Structure 1
Amino acid sequence: MPSLTVPQVPHYASAPVTKENLQYADLAVIDLAKAHDVEGRAQLALEVAEASKTQGFFYVVNHGYTAAQTERMFDIADVPFSCVEADDKIAYTASIKETGSFEGYKPRQYWHVDNGVHDQVENYSIHRDVTKREHPKALRPLLPEIDAFAQHTHFNVLHPILRLLALGLELPEEEFVKLHGFSAKGAAYVRFMKYYPRSVDDELKTNNVWLKGHTDMGTITVLYSQPVSALQILGKDGKWRWIKHIENALVINTGDTLEFLSGGYYKATIHRVVQPPADQQNHTRLGLFYFGMTDDAVKLVPFSSSPLLQRVGITRRFEDKDAPTMEEWGKARTSAYGTTVLKAAEDGSKFEEEVIAGVVVKHFN
């Protein structure tokens, strides 16, 4: 009979919610409890499609995890940072540049931000198959819970959202789900991410930007909401707005892969991370993510069979014959991110550009 107890880990105490009056983005709130019948899914599909084509960000509530379960996962998320010695971390450092994979540690100061300043962000990424590689000793007793978390987010969050997105394109609701297997070869992963406060000099040199504006490379990114305000999205009006913390909610954003598959109908939204408000600046910021991607072999071409796309048209970033596979796109973007020399955009805007797998990728400076 399995044990009813779980390994003890230190509690991660986050900062209180900021009291500052921030300009928050007005995002849709999607209630997944309504997705259990045909009528509910049809209504939610309209809401998700509208949010994904206009803002690329929305909240999800009633996702199947209790507040206590979410709190437990944040405690686990801090273990690779607070319970593993620096020397031990080296053995589990990801070979990001060489393999195009984030699996393992991404150490602090790996990514260049601006004006010679590098990041103060430490990551630990775990493939959705938690047995794929070895992990630090402190994490090993926690792997069953991390596996359960990955499976929950994949099947009870990612798949339901993919069904709604397919319905939004007037496709059979399993069309996107079929591309996102859990057991198939693919790079979807859990990420624990810890931001540390920076020096005054670094803040001045980067204008308080911790990660410059970018889009995510996958289909859907699932972020479990946490109290430290730092995430912002770029609106169509060119203004940055903060993402507000909602207790035990998820923040969902659409990535490049979904934009490719939807022929530009769903947008990959530019977002960034900045210094938190003054009342949170002495605290670390712990992130709990699930990055959804298609299976490796999927060729990232639009679903031209979509009746909706046939009516509104398809915007291609590359010709279908030149489209990369998910594996090619993911590895190319991973190995390049934060380490390549970016060029100023030719249109004179504040964007910087790089070409990855034949595709122009923009970053907001």
Structure 2
Amino acid sequence: MPSFVPPTVSRWVSPEPTKEILEWAELEVIDLARARTPEGRADQVEKARDAMHNQGYFYVVNHGLDKAQVERIFDIAAVPFEQVSPEEKKVYEAKIKETGTFMGYKPLQFWHISNGVKDRIEHYNFNRNAVRPLLPEIQEFIRHNHIQVVHEIERLLALGLELPEETLVDIHNFEDKNNAYCKCYPRSQEEERQTENVWLKGHADHTTLTVLYSQPISALQIRDADEKWRWVKHLDNALVINCGDALEMLSGGYYKSAIHRVIQPPEDQRGRKRLGVFYFCYADDDIQLEPLSASPVLERVGIKRRTEEGKAPFMEAWRKARTQPGVEEEEMLKGIRVKHYN
């Protein structure tokens, strides 16, 4: 059979990292290559456990893709935004309110930010059955993220709870997991003033884990353990991993949902379009997000529940509830208080 020849796509050229002096978050770095060695595994388990417990965030290096492969992924990520007509985008527009999923194209101005100003973010969210000409590469990329990255992290986090290392892997099957590309556009000075430079309100993801491929334009901030907003620094060819609400519920509150937001980039990067590559990981739809109470760690420190015992939502219901566009700063979803930070 003939070998697959990747389609030619335009290069996505990112700017240089900011040279401005910013208050950067101090995030742990997890080395997956070291985690796969007998002598390094225990050390990486401890680092991953403590980072997720204290901040809900860490970097990952040696994730299995080299710099050229990641650059190719960013080239592919630009295709839905740079090489697809508005008419064709409309065909694939996600029916978010009706279906409770972001699968497909999300146009600009879907989320309300502040004072009547809506977002300037478009994204294309898909599983492995979309974007036909580039499908073989996208399929492999999604599989790599789920199997080689997320599953490896889940093993470290399960061991951090002193559970069998496949505990989280077993409830995160590959089916129906998805990947997303996101593009942020510059805004007018008046919109920046009305929103106090916030592009996307502070929030926690509804996932178990979110994987972000680090890119040079600084705009992501996390709400740190001391409740101060700090910038997430770009690390070349690294991943930024954050804990979502679903993992916080499964871990009985031991692993903390990471509150984060997107704001206007520093002055030396303003006016540039910002391209993001994400992998959003969910537990299987039929998993109830009850704490993993067999954990010896939870037995020692206690369980912090988001709902009454036995009343936690199932993953599918939680995912659909959280995909609604909601404008409230604080709301109740499936009996759980969800807060947005502006």
The aligned residue for residue 31 of structure 1 is 31
**Paired letter, 1:5:** V
Alignment counterpart, residue 288 of structure 1, candidates 267, 277, 280: 277
**Paired letter, 2:326:** T
User: Is residue 362 of structure 1 aligned with residue 339 of structure 2?
Assistant: yes
User: Is residue 226 of structure 1 aligned with residue 218 of structure 2?
Assistant: no
Alignment counterpart, residue 148 of structure 2, candidates 128, 152, 156: 156
**Paired letter, 1:10:** S
The aligned residue for residue 87 of structure 1 is 87
The alpha-carbon deviation at position 341 of structure 1 amounts to 3.7
SS of equivalent residue, structure 2 residue 310? helix
Alignment of 1:117-136 (within 5 A): 117-127=117-127, 130-131=128-129, 135=130
SS of equivalent residue, structure 1 residue 321? coil
User: Is residue 266 of structure 1 aligned with residue 243 of structure 2?
Assistant: no
The aligned residue for residue 349 of structure 1 is none
**Paired letter, 2:104:** G
The aligned residue for residue 182 of structure 1 is 174
**Paired letter, 1:362:** K
Greater shift in the superposed pair: 38-47 or 195-204: 38-47
Contact 2:218 2:266 in 1 (8 A): yes
Q: How many residues align?
A: 342
Alignment counterpart, residue 314 of structure 1, candidates 296, 303, 308: 303
**Paired letter, 1:270:** I
Alignment counterpart, residue 340 of structure 1, candidates 326, 335, 338: 326
Distance 1:302 1:39 in 2: 30
Alignment counterpart, residue 205 of structure 1, candidates 194, 197, 213: 194
The alpha-carbon deviation at position 4 of structure 1 amounts to 5.0
Distance 1:206 1:359 in 2: 27
Alignment counterpart, residue 330 of structure 2, candidates 353, 359, 363: 353
Distance 2:17 2:327 in 1: 36
**Paired letter, 2:113:** V
Normalising to structure 1: TM-score of the pair?
A: 0.92
Alignment of 1:53-132 (within 5 A): 53-127=53-127, 130-131=128-129
The aligned residue for residue 47 of structure 2 is 47
Distance 1:356 1:114 in 2: 21
Contact 2:111 2:327 in 1 (8 A): no
Distance 1:116 1:224 in 2: 31
SS of equivalent residue, structure 1 residue 43? helix
SS of equivalent residue, structure 2 residue 340? strand
Q: 1:160-201, CA deviations, whole angstroms, 9 ceiling, x for partnerless residues? A: 000000000000000000000013xx4x21000000000111
What percentage of aligned pairs have identical amino acids? 57
Alignment counterpart, residue 302 of structure 1, candidates 261, 268, 291: 291
Instruction: Point out where structure 2 has 5 or more consecutive residues left out of the alignment.
Output: none
Alignment counterpart, residue 162 of structure 2, candidates 162, 170, 175: 170
Distance 1:179 1:40 in 2: 26
The alpha-carbon deviation at position 218 of structure 1 amounts to 0.7
SS of equivalent residue, structure 1 residue 244? coil
Greater shift in the superposed pair: 34-43 or 98-107: 34-43
The alpha-carbon deviation at position 236 of structure 1 amounts to 2.5
SS of equivalent residue, structure 2 residue 255? coil
**Paired letter, 1:340:** G
The alpha-carbon deviation at position 16 of structure 1 amounts to 1.4
Distance 2:162 2:38 in 1: 14
The aligned residue for residue 142 of structure 1 is 134
Q: 1:197-231, CA deviations, whole angstroms, 9 ceiling, x for partnerless residues? A: 00111000000000010000011000000000000
Q: 1:23-59, CA deviations, whole angstroms, 9 ceiling, x for partnerless residues? A: 1000001110012234422211100000001011110
**Paired letter, 1:163:** R
Alignment of 1:247-262 (within 5 A): 247-262=236-251
RMSD of aligned alpha carbons: 1.0
SS of equivalent residue, structure 1 residue 320? coil
The alpha-carbon deviation at position 255 of structure 1 amounts to 0.3
Distance 1:20 1:279 in 2: 7
Distance 2:18 2:124 in 1: 26
SS of equivalent residue, structure 2 residue 5? coil
Distance 1:87 1:5 in 2: 28
Distance 2:195 2:269 in 1: 19
